[in-house]
Amino acid sequence: MAMKQREAVYQVTTEVLAAKGIEFMPTVTDVRDLVNSEIRSEITDKIVTMFQEGQVEFKSTESNQEKMSDTKKLRSYVTGLITNWFNKDTQLNGGAKYEAKNPGSRSPDAQLKELRILKKHLEAKGDADGVSRCDEAIAQRIEFLKAEKAPTSLPAVDPDNLPDFLKDLAV
């Protein structure tokens, strides 16, 4: 049975570090402080090979099949996978709870995207008041979008379609 992607990143990372004589203590040491470009490239190569040999889980989607048929695309995918687990896996990141740098940045909401872009412009200008106002607008927009997603109301219950012993429960 193929191992999970997270497990593959952890296993290969610890193996490569051990082979190089680099001390690593899970949940204590942040692996990002130990890994340079040479080590990261070696980790990437090993995980790419594991994918190609079917040792790592990879859903059979059209997009993933395309990656499997093109080593460059697979390598790019694995590079992102490694970054993801270096950030999120507490065994690899020194036990830190991961927090997204820009939560909701993938939101399909055009207004929210524009507010974030405006905020970056204002930060670059050093406009603290404008940044503060943008932060407030972003928070309000996020709350509005959350409220929009919340279920509005439940459908009415037709007591005529219920068994007699439950009809008194229909409101």
User: Which DSSP state fits 45?
Assistant: H
120 and 82, same domain (yes or no): no
> Does any domain span residue 125?
yes
CA distances from 101 to 68, 71, 81, 105 (A): 30, 30, 17, 9
> Does any domain span residue 67?
yes
pLDDT > 80? residue 171: no
Q: Which of 12-16, 90-94, 119-123, 152-156 has the lowest mean pLDDT?
A: 152-156
20 and 63, same domain (yes or no): yes
Mean pLDDT of 105-113: 80
79 and 124, same domain (yes or no): no
Give me the half-sphere count of Cα atoms (radius 13 Å) on the Cβ side of residue 63: 3
pLDDT > 90? residue 3: yes
Mean pLDDT estimate for the chain: 90
Of the chain, the percentage scoring pLDDT greater than 90 comes to 67
57 and 126, same domain (yes or no): no
67 and 124, same domain (yes or no): no
Per the structure, the count of domains in the chain is 2
17 and 79, same domain (yes or no): yes
Q: 120-147 as b/e, with b when 16 or more CB fall inside 10 Å?
A: eebeeeeeeeebeebeeebeebbeeeee
Smallest CA-to-CA distance from 82 within 22, 19, 24, 39 is with 39
> pTM score, two decimals?
0.63
Range of the domain at 77: 5-88
